[in-house]
A = this chain, B = another copy of it.
Amino acid sequence: MDCTRPIGVFDSGIGGLTVVRALMERLPLERIVYFGDTARVPYGIKSVATIEHFTAQITDFLLQQDVKMLIIACNTMAAVAADVVRRRAGSIPVLDVIEGGARAAVSTSRRRGIAVIGTPTTVNSNAYARRMHELDPGVRVFSQACPLFVPLVEEGWLDHPVTQLTAEEYLKPVLAEEVDSLVLGCTHYPLLKPLLKRVVGPEVRLVDSALTTAELAAASLQALGIASVARVAAPYRFVVTDVPLRFQTIGERFLGRSLGAVEKVDW
C-alpha cells in the first residue's frame, strides 16, 4: 500500500478536530482528510438506524478519497455504527475513539472503578462498558450521559459558573461510586478538562480518548508498515456538509490553530 495516502478521520461535526489535533502532534508527517457532517450534527440524540445510515455515507465518501486508514473520531458513531464502517472498509484498517479510551482507562485504573461520560446515545449503547469488560472482567464501570456539555462547549462557556453547576449535577452520581478514572467519552469534552478536573478533584484521572487514539494510530501504522516516510509536514483537508462559517470559527478553538480552506460537499 502507498504510505503517502491520507488517514480519513470523521465526526458528526466539529468535535473530532480534537482527535485531528492529537494526530497532528503525534504524527506530523501524515496527511489527513477530515470529514464533519455539520449539516446533520448532532448525532448523540438520534436513533441507531439514522446514525448507521449517515455513517455509511461518510465512510463511502472517505473510501473514495483513497484513505489508508479510517478513524472514527465520534464516540456516538463508534458506539453504535463501528460495524457499519468495518464492513464497508474491507481491508482498510479502522480505529475508533472508544477502543482508544477503553484501553487507556483499563490499563491505568488502580481501584478498578471507572466512570464514563458521553452523549445519551453513547451511554445507552453501553459500548465503553462492554469493551472495558472484555479487556478486564473485574473492572466496575459507571456511565453518565451529559447532554448539555456539547452545547456548553459550542457556546464557548468552557469555564463558566453555568458549566460548573451542570458538571457538579451530572457527575454527582458517578463520583459517589469511588472511581479513580473519568473517561471523556465525547470529543467535545477535552475542552472542559480544567473545569472537570476541578469538579472531580485530584484523586480522579481524566482519560482523553483523543490522545490515546493518536497513540493507537501511531502504533497501528507502524505495525502495518504504512506510516508516512515523507520529509515535510503533511497537507490537511477539511470537508463538511454545511456552509463552513461556523465550523471555521469554532473549529479553530478545537484545533488550536488555523484551519485554512474548508470544502463543502452537497448531499
Contact = CB atoms under 8 A, between A and B. Distances in A.
Interface of A: 38-40, 45-50, 147-148, 150-152, 154-155, 157, 161-162, 165-166, 169, 241-243, 245-246
Given A45-B246, A242-B47, A243-B49, A162 B166 contact: yes
Given A151-B151, A161-B165, A46 B38 contact: yes
Given A148-B151, A155-B148, A39 B46 contact: yes
Contacts of A46: 38-39, 242, 246
B147 A47 contact: no
Contact of A47 (B45, B165, B243): B243
A238 to B, nearest CB: 16
Contacts of A242: 46-47, 50
Q: How many copies does the complex hold?
A: 2
A39 B38 CA distance: 13
A242 B42 CA distance: 13
Given A147-B154, A162-B162, 8 more contacts: A39-B46, A46-B242, A47-B243, A47-B245, A50-B241, A147-B151, A150-B151, A165-B165
Nearest to A54: B39
25 contacts: A38-B46, A39-B40, A39-B46, A39-B50, A45-B246, A46-B242, A46-B246, A47-B242, A47-B243, A47-B245, A49-B243, A50-B241, A50-B242, A50-B243, A147-B154, A148-B148, A148-B151, A148-B155, A148-B162, A150-B151, A151-B151, A162-B162, A162-B165, A162-B166, A165-B165
A242 B47 CA distance: 7
Contacts of A39: 40, 46, 50
Contacts of A169: 162
A219 B25 CA distance: 63
4 closest A-B pairs (Cβ-Cβ)?
Answer: A47-B243, A151-B151, A50-B242, A39-B50
A241 B50 CA distance: 9
A243 B241 CA distance: 22
Nearest to A163: B162
A158 to B, nearest CB: 13
